Chain A
Amino acid sequence: GDALLPAPQSISILSTNMKHFLSWSPVVVQGATVRYSVEFQGEYEREYANGSWIPISECSLTTATVCNLTDDISATVAYRLRVRAELGAMRSRWGTLKGFFNRVTTSLTPPLLRVLADGYHLLVELADMGPAFQFRVLYWKKGQESRVQQKVMKEVSSVVHLDTMEAGAEYCVKAQTHVEAINRSSSFSPTQCVRAQRDTSMWL
């Protein structure tokens, strides 16, 4: 039965910001719906569990040609990944991702950052990227680039207070993500600058 059903080809992994997706090209059988099953094997399974493979139920007998591995690739070790096609009782051979995948290679993009000034207060809004992420925010008074200050933030629910500003001064901010689990950081976001409210006598 295996020979009739070819193994999936062009197996690749796309990993961005600690979200990992396995994809492959479809196996085409005229007039039939081919399904796929995906399995993974961590370093532990290779070294201590006789090379066993673990099925991913969400990607068992799926018609999709992509599988979200994020919940299963949750250790910083080398994983092997494979997928096969199934049509009724027929099963193809396993198609295995070439080499290993380690989440340390995920690509990290700069955070989406919005900088606000509210009176004399410097505020930032950062898009949440999941529990694995910290944000390193750098800010400085324009013209004093040598006196950069830093804040590291974990959970960012909404508008976070960074600091108070001198009246009328312009402040610039940029941020990068840091993932402690793989000890890597993204590049910095573009710098954004805002100006503090001018000094108004009403408040003196």
Chain B
Amino acid sequence: KILHFGACRVSMSMTEIRAGFTAIKANIQSRDPIRTLSILSHPQSLHKVKSSDRCCITRHLLTFYVDKVFKHCRTEDSFVNRKISSIANSFLSARRKLGQCREQNNCVCGEESTEKFKQILANYEGLNVTSAAMKSLGELDILLDWMEKSR
């Protein structure tokens, strides 16, 4: 599927990523008992980000998941670990394509996206690392829903 982030157009295997997440969603979300906090959607929603900032925020978020989240989500369940690997490698592949947009200057970071991403990091650092990582992984559909809205 071709996703549009402002001037940046990226082909991403959203169907495969969503299938991978759907397969482990109940398992992962059941490991997150905190209902009152969100990494991605509160206090500020991803859905309020300006179109021009979409590429930068997406690149930040893919990096956030690759650098900070997936590595702290190893579980005792081999099936879950395999699906996490599949998603992580897909994110790596997608981030590389967004990097190409950045080189073509189509992925500029505005003030709002920088602020927005700071808020997400603050939410993340407000929890212990394993809880924060598992919560972030459980919110992957929030990220995918938002990314696809940009179609």
Contacts and interface: CB of A to CB of B under 8 A. Distances in A.
Direct contact of A and B (CB under 8 A): yes
Interface of A: 40, 42-45, 47-49, 54-57, 71-72, 74-77, 79, 131-132, 180-181, 183
Contacts of B78: 54-55, 57
Nearest to B15: A131
Interface in B53-102: 66-67, 70-71, 78-79, 81-82, 85-86, 88-93
A47 B78 CA distance: 20
B11 A75 contact: no
A48 B85 contact: no
A48 B88 contact: yes
Given A45-B85, A48-B70, A54-B81, A74 B90 contact: yes
Contacts of B91: 44
A57 B19 CA distance: 19
A59 to B, nearest CB: 11
Majority SS at the chain A contact face: loop
**What size tier do the contact residues of chain B reach?**
20 to 34
Contacts of A72: 82, 85-86
Interface in B1-33: 1, 11, 13, 15-16, 19-20
Contact of A74 (B1, B67, B86): B86
Contacts of A131: 15, 19
Given A42-B92, A74-B13, 8 more contacts: A43-B89, A44-B85, A54-B81, A56-B82, A71-B86, A74-B86, A75-B16, A132-B16
A38 to B, nearest CB: 12
A57 B71 CA distance: 20
A65 B143 CA distance: 40
B70 to A, nearest CB: 7
A77 B13 contact: no
Contacts of B13: 74-76, 132, 180-181
Contact of B92 (A71, A77, A180): A77
A49 B78 CA distance: 16
B54 to A, nearest CB: 21
A180 B11 contact: yes
